[in-house]
A and B are shown apart, each in its own frame.
Chain A
Amino acid sequence: MREQSILRVAAKMMTPFILVFGLYVVFHGDISPGGGFQGGVIIASGFILYGLVYGGADMRRVIPRWLSDALLALGVLLYAGTGTFCLLAGYRFLDYTALRPSSPGTGEVIGMTLVEYGVGFTVAMVMVTIYNEISEGTVPEDGGDGSATAEAPSSGAAAGRDAIRPGTAAPPSAA
């Protein structure tokens, strides 16, 4: 798919905007439609678009497996940690007044924001992991060259990329 210059250019241009919009949806969730899950899925869709167009190897270079696992855990830890912090502070589980005892309203805002960040990270990384696991071995690793080649190793992808590039000019002129 990286052969198709429109897809390549469009994906590269859109991905940063998708990611920023996803972050906006997470942050702004308490006063507009949105929140953790919705924003997380949008962020993941940015990464998955990149992975679909450029291939699994490139996507794993951008989001390595250790990073997605770590962020996944960090998200859940943030959510459960907020709750447990409230517990340890002497209040009930997820009682946000523990975060700012002097002004419960601000405590609610802080608590909800932390929880939404946590959910957003976890959901984004879960979607990316699901995509990785299910597409492994079925989607071409180097993004494909028009014909179906599966499971090129990452070093081969680099060589394949260079080999393909001189050829990209050929099909349009041949057609």
Chain B
Amino acid sequence: MSLGGHYNYWIAILLMMIGLYPVIAKPNLIKKILGLSLFQTGIFLFYISVGKVFGGTAPIYFEPAGRDPAMYTNSIPTALILTGIVVSVSTTAVALAIAVSIKRAYGTVEMYDIENADRDDQE
């Protein structure tokens, strides 16, 4: 397992874990949403870095490179990630809308205060 050759995996995993940390550890809902967004960004970077062809150019037809596919970076991962980014933006938008509604309904976006309010409701 080469450490140097697979540095893109390490960076992607690092980003994913940094993003997952606020989701688990921070009580503020907005921080959780930001962490989720960071987690997904790490996944996207991982995907795109996988498509890179060393010594290849951008996947736009370029006369000197000819029609040899090995000379071009793979464009499918970027197309997939574009869709993934749209999904991530939509998820963040829905999550933020719910967070705004929670703020209007509870008056706070801190998870522990919300849980206490729920417990008081039940009793």
Query: A residues touching B (Cβ–Cβ < 8 Å)?
Result: 31-33, 35, 37-38, 123, 130, 133-134
Name 16 interchain pairs, CB-CB below 8 A, sorted by A.
Answer: A31-B60, A32-B60, A33-B58, A33-B60, A35-B82, A37-B82, A37-B85, A37-B86, A38-B82, A123-B86, A130-B93, A130-B97, A133-B97, A134-B96, A134-B97, A134-B100
Chain B residues with a Cβ closer than 8 Å to the other chain, count: 9
| Closest B residue to A138 using CB positions | B100
Closest chain A residue to B58 by CB distance?
A33
1/0 per residue, CB under 8 A from A, across B74-106: the answer is 000000001001100000010011001000000
- CB-CB under 8 A from A123, the residues of chain B are 86
Q: Find the A residue at minimum CB distance from B59.
A: A33
Question: Which A residues touch B100, using CB under 8 A?
Answer: 134
Where chain B touches its partner, the secondary structure class is helix
Within 8 A of A (CB), among B4-59: 58
Which residues of A have CB within 8 Å of B96?
134
CB distance from B58 to the nearest CB of A (A): 8
Which of B60, B85, B100: most chain A Cβ within 10 A? B100
